[in-house]
Amino acid sequence: MAKKRKDIENDILIEERIGEEEDYEEYARLREEREGIRARKTRIEEENERRQSAEYERIKNRKAEEKRVREEEKRWRSYEKRKKKKHPVRNFFLLILVMIIALSGAFLIYMRSLLQTVDSVDLENALESSISQQVRDDRGMAGYQNIALFGVDSRDQDLLSGDNRSDTIMICSINKKTGETRLVSVYRDTLLNIGGGDYRKCNAAYAFGGPQQAVAMLNANLDLNITDFVTVGFEGLAETIDALGGIDLEITEEEMEYMNSYMDDMYYEIGTEYDEVADWGMQHLSGIQATAYCRIRYTAGDDFRRAERQRTVLMLTMEKARKANPLRLAAAAGAVMGRTATSLSSGELMLFILRARMMDITESTGFPTEEDRIFATVNGESCVVPYYLTTNVRKLHQTLFEQEDYEPSSTVEEFNDIINAYVE
């Protein structure tokens, strides 16, 4: 009996344990289900938040784009509205700007066509032997562009050949930085070595060897580094002055008479029409009248006064060019181009013409100086003798390049001794 009761108790305990185990498994199962539900719920909540955030960004971007489009449309409507309004002042200046651009282009095309009519001359060979090493190494001259200006009375209109003794010989020295320009006339009867040991009036160099020999003569005798030249016939000078509107100049009664006589000669020589100068004093001169003024050499001062007249006319012409509008400047260039010979390239000549408005002639004189020259007959010719050549060269460098202590080269010293021997 006792054993049976014990077995019953054991069975009851076993059933209780089994029940407890079954309850735990159920509990665990239910817990896992609850955890799974919670995790799914969390994932669902996170996915919903992500979707809401993305939707918010999409709506935000859409509104921003709609705002940008509205602002763009607003600006466009404003532009269209302004465009429909009339702006006469603005349109006027736009028209002027377009005209300036068009005229500038036309001016450049016109100038390029004119440059094709200029006689071009190469000076390279002449410069190689005429510029001394001392001059090449001289730093005081490096900042200047030196150009020889020749005026010739060519009846056959050929500026490079024939009996073209240069009636005008000038050295034009231009400060490259400031545009300051200085002119020195070399008197045409000056006794110099014109080349090959031939000492005679310097204007013969152009007749014997053209501008090449004339430039070489100036370089060798005066210790210069002239690299270019411009030659203009008197007819070209007259037409240039006319294109610029003439010049104002005070003349004497004696000069008036000579001017009318020279103009009469030019009429018979080359058929140039003219109006006589009817009065003296301050006069407005045409091109042909101013050219006749340049040729006068029989008044007091002789050829020295004539060279001064030439520099005066050139300075007044340059002054008119500086103040000229582009149309007048183009007309002046057109007048002179076909009657010009030069070593300047087309580009250099164009730049030289455009720079004319900035060139300011600050000094003008003659060579040789009055106190350092004498007159003598050499080889049957009446010459102006630079006595001494070395002294004149020192003064020339002081005038052109502000060199106070320039010492002439051995070549100039040699020429000086030979020139002095003709008069001692």
Best CA proximity match to 313, nearest among 179, 186, 198, 151: 151
Give pLDDT tens digits for 310-349: 999 989 988 888 887 777 777 777 777 767 788 887 667 7
Give the helix ranges, DSSP H, for 131-247: 133-136, 204-222, 234-243
Tokens of 198: 């031939």
With pLDDT > 90 as the criterion, what percentage of the chain qualifies? 37
Which homologous superfamily is 117-233+303-421 in? LCP protein (3.40.630.190)
Residue 317's alpha-carbon distances to 279, 313, 329, 356, in angstroms, are 22, 6, 11, 10
Give pLDDT tens digits for 37-71: 777 777 777 777 778 877 777 887 887 887 787 77
Residues linked to residue 384 through DSSP beta bridges, in sequence order: 190, 375
Of the two residues 35 and 419, the one the predictor is more confident about is 419
- Residue 96 in 3-state DSSP? helix
Could you give the CA distance from residue 149 to residue 315 in angstroms, rounded to a whole number? 13
Give pLDDT tens digits for 181-206: 999 999 999 999 999 999 999 999 99
Evaluate if residue 89 carries a pLDDT over 60: no
Could you give the CA distance from residue 327 to residue 243 in angstroms, rounded to a whole number? 10
CA atoms within 13 A on the CB side of 363: 16
Best CA proximity match to 286, nearest among 295, 276, 299: 276
pLDDT for 162: 54
Of the two residues 309 and 77, the one the predictor is more confident about is 309
Q: How many Å separate Cα 343 from the centre of its chain?
A: 17
Tokens of 406: 């320039």
**pLDDT confidence tier of residue 102, bands split at 50, 70 and 90:** very low
Could you give the CA distance from residue 414 to residue 195 in angstroms, rounded to a whole number? 14
Q: For residue 191, which phi and psi values (nearest 5 degrees)?
A: -80, 115
Evaluate if residue 154 carries a pLDDT over 70: no
pLDDT for 9: 62
**pLDDT confidence tier of residue 106, bands split at 50, 70 and 90:** very low
